[in-house]
Chain A
């Protein structure tokens, strides 16, 4: 019996990144007009930008996990 068979690690990584990505990007959208808050990050809405990056990364992990499951 293999521990891998019970849980594909790509699932929780993908799940966490998708969740955090949505949270950060959503927060970035809501706070987008707050220039005082984003003065820290040089005027960049880093929550929105990085939230989207994490979301995409998370989706890639989930797709890889799904392909892996389909294969074997």
Chain B
């Protein structure tokens, strides 16, 4: 079936898009002259103010998967999707700011794997560095693939051209200005997303009759799906049991799996985001970075989840905004009950096309493009740093000059982009390979937070304990996945490939419990092996472990300037949001 583009752009739309790219490339060009050392290139010379690192901390994670995916989940699960922000991000962001940043920033490690080397040993660092490097390439490839596919569908753009052009633009500005250039563009992209999506939500709410109209329409939509009336507009309704809420998971799995293991594992240990905070100009600025990011983060559900909910409200059985998923023969796909299966990933882009006239349409699509590209750039800057410092410098060439490592960083940028393009094409050709890889990375990530938490807060933890804890946590995740299945799935990629011991009510429940199992396995094995192996002398652990490190003294700061006060306000606001949408 030939695809007919959904929308046509006019001159003003292209002009808006072109102007954005002029500024993106201009930033890279302007920063080229001040990028002289490897520290400038990989760490921004640790010189950026906290509002810049804070917005980049948020924005590096705000790839297109998030903008499109959260809209899709909004259409699928309703306001309960906000749990991914209020439970699944804010507490972890507060924790990393107050308790972990002192070690990342204070130890003067240049990357997260390098912290593992300082605290534990070379093998733990290498395990983390290799898996992380592979993951960044894979994510940036997926991001490119999704972009090429989406813009082909919406505008009829050639897949090859959109992948190559965006890759060249990202390459140009990261190559020239390194991390600073990536961070500056992430902040620019943050404002583009905010200003591209705010009018979308405004127009969308206007057209469905405000929040009251949205609630009324979603109550009807819930009824046709056999859910309770408030299922889409209340975040906590029916959370006592997996079968009575749209997510299909009970509160304990949600809070422990998503809110604790997965979210702390991501926000507290993923170098992609932590690298932004490490570029701050002082310890205080580094600690404020995740807190500054948390403020827009808690409000983002209104920008990215609401469009999905509005799109759902404007879609009825007769059709509307969200198109049906198509079967191989081009006919709409039906579920077991004979209802049309909707292609939720198109909820946000379709709403954009429906509500924005030419001009604004250019702005909205530019915001979308911006999020794809900064997702790529974030991964590429994390990759070139981990490759150069944690793999190349520690295993291949230990005593190069600073100019040599700067050169290697630029070479790794080119290499990383080329590998990402390759990954994008692999994703297009072999859907299954990507699904398997995604699963493998989920196993690799699940136990990470346990290793960092033990390393930072228990001085007795040893390198052998950390390494084997990590390895067994990953295996534990794989075993758990291999012996369980979500309800209604067949053994294979969804699990059950070793046999079937337990069935979960939904895929989400299975994912959260896999994380819980991985974390617990990692803690137990790390503790047992640490206790029977030789600990490092305490003198070597100063600055790396909580009990042996001087606490940051916030003397000279007024009450309202203290990070702890800021953190308390952020948490209070999050609780308030949960109560409003209870």
Partner of A4, one of B20, B49, B199: B49
Stretch at the interface among B39-47, B213-221, B246-254, B467-475: B39-47
**Contact indicator B357/A47 (Cβ below 8 Å):** yes
Say whether B320 faces chain A, with CB atoms less than 8 Å apart: no
**Contact indicator A9/B187 (Cβ below 8 Å):** yes
For chain A residues 1-55, which have a beta carbon within 8 Å of chain B?
1-7, 9, 12-13, 15-17, 19-20, 23-24, 27-28, 31, 37-38, 40-42, 44, 46-47, 50, 53-54
A12-B27, A16-B23, A31-B359 known; A4 and B48 CB under 8 Å?
yes
Closest to B10 in A: A27
Closest to B279 in A: A3
**Contact indicator B357/A41 (Cβ below 8 Å):** yes
Encoded as 1 (CB less than 8 Å from any A CB) or 0, chain B from 15 to 50 comes to 110011001001100110111100010001101110
**Contact indicator B199/A1 (Cβ below 8 Å):** no
Task: Give complex CA distance A7, B29 in Å.
Answer: 11
**Contact indicator B48/A23 (Cβ below 8 Å):** no
**Contact indicator B45/A2 (Cβ below 8 Å):** yes
**Contact indicator A12/B23 (Cβ below 8 Å):** yes
Contacts of A41 in B (CB 8 A): 203, 355-357, 360
Interface centre among B12, B36, B40, B207, by most chain A C-beta atoms within 10 angstroms, is B12
Task: Give complex CA distance A20, B20 in Å.
Answer: 8
Task: Give complex CA distance A40, B354 in Å.
Answer: 7
Interface centre among A9, A12, A46, A53, by most chain B C-beta atoms within 10 angstroms, is A9
**Contact indicator A12/B26 (Cβ below 8 Å):** yes
**Contact indicator A3/B203 (Cβ below 8 Å):** no
**Contact indicator B19/A2 (Cβ below 8 Å):** no
Say whether B184 faces chain A, with CB atoms less than 8 Å apart: yes
Report A1 CB to chain B, min CB distance, Å. 7
Contacts of A42 in B (CB 8 A): 203, 206-207
Partner of B359, one of A1, A6, A44, A47: A47
Task: Give complex CA distance A12, B206 in Å.
Answer: 32
Interface centre among B48, B187, B191, by most chain A C-beta atoms within 10 angstroms, is B191
Contacts of A13 in B (CB 8 A): 187-188, 191
**Contact indicator B187/A5 (Cβ below 8 Å):** no
For chain B residues 156-187, which have a beta carbon within 8 Å of chain A?
180, 184, 187
**Contact indicator A4/B47 (Cβ below 8 Å):** yes
Task: Give complex CA distance A2, B44 in Å.
Answer: 8
A1-B34, A1-B45, A17-B191 known; A7 and B355 CB under 8 Å?
no
**Contact indicator B12/A46 (Cβ below 8 Å):** no
**Contact indicator B34/A40 (Cβ below 8 Å):** no
Say whether B79 faces chain A, with CB atoms less than 8 Å apart: no
Say whether B52 faces chain A, with CB atoms less than 8 Å apart: yes
**Contact indicator B36/A20 (Cβ below 8 Å):** no
**Contact indicator A16/B188 (Cβ below 8 Å):** yes
Task: Give complex CA distance A42, B209 in Å.
Answer: 11
Say whether B281 faces chain A, with CB atoms less than 8 Å apart: yes
Partner of B360, one of A3, A7, A17, A24: A24
**Contact indicator A12/B45 (Cβ below 8 Å):** no
Task: Give complex CA distance A28, B354 in Å.
Answer: 18
**Contact indicator A1/B360 (Cβ below 8 Å):** no
Report B357 CB to chain A, min CB distance, Å. 5
**Contact indicator A46/B203 (Cβ below 8 Å):** yes
Task: Give complex CA distance A12, B27 in Å.
Answer: 7
**Contact indicator B359/A28 (Cβ below 8 Å):** yes
Closest 6 A/B residue pairs (Cβ): A6-B34, A2-B47, A47-B359, A3-B180, A16-B23, A27-B359
Q: Which B residues are closer than 8 A to A by beta carbons?
A: 12, 15-16, 19-20, 23, 26-27, 30-31, 33-36, 40, 44-45, 47-49, 52, 180, 184, 187-188, 191, 195, 199, 203, 206-207, 281, 354-360, 363
Q: List 13 A-B contacts (CB under 8 A).
A: A3-B35, A7-B30, A7-B31, A9-B52, A12-B30, A16-B19, A20-B20, A20-B363, A23-B19, A28-B359, A37-B357, A44-B203, A57-B195
5 further A-B pairs in the complex, CB-CB below 8 A; given A7-B27, A24-B359, A47-B360: A1-B40, A3-B34, A41-B203, A41-B357, A42-B207
